[in-house]
Amino acid sequence: MARIDQAALLRGALPAGVEIDLVQSRCQICHTLEYVTQQRLSDAQWDKTLTKMQKWGSPITDDDKKQLAP
């Protein structure tokens, strides 16, 4: 397993494999990329967070959630 560069996350750099277009079009409409990448959540916590964002009006679909928090 590749080591995630925590300093890069704090600067807002997404790890390889993350759906950058999806994050930019769904998350960055309200949050900075740095805010998103600084979160230290498990997959289950991300799923809960994304569900909360959907309830607050985010355009995140259930298919998007599967890509962002598998």
Query: DSSP 3-state assignment of 10?
Result: helix
Q: What is the pLDDT of residue 18?
A: 61
**Residues 6+ away with beta carbon under 8 Å from 8:** 15
Q: What is the pLDDT of residue 2?
A: 44
CA nearest to 63, candidates 22, 25, 28: 22
Q: Are 23 and 33 in contact (CB under 8 A)?
A: yes
Model confidence, pTM: 0.74
Where do the structural domains in the chain lie, given as residue ranges? 6-68
**Residues 6+ away with beta carbon under 8 Å from 49:** 39, 41
Reading the chain (70 residues) residue by residue, the pLDDT tens digits are 345 566 777 777 777 666 778 888 898 899 988 888 888 888 888 899 999 999 999 999 999 888 888 6
Q: What is the pLDDT of residue 4?
A: 57
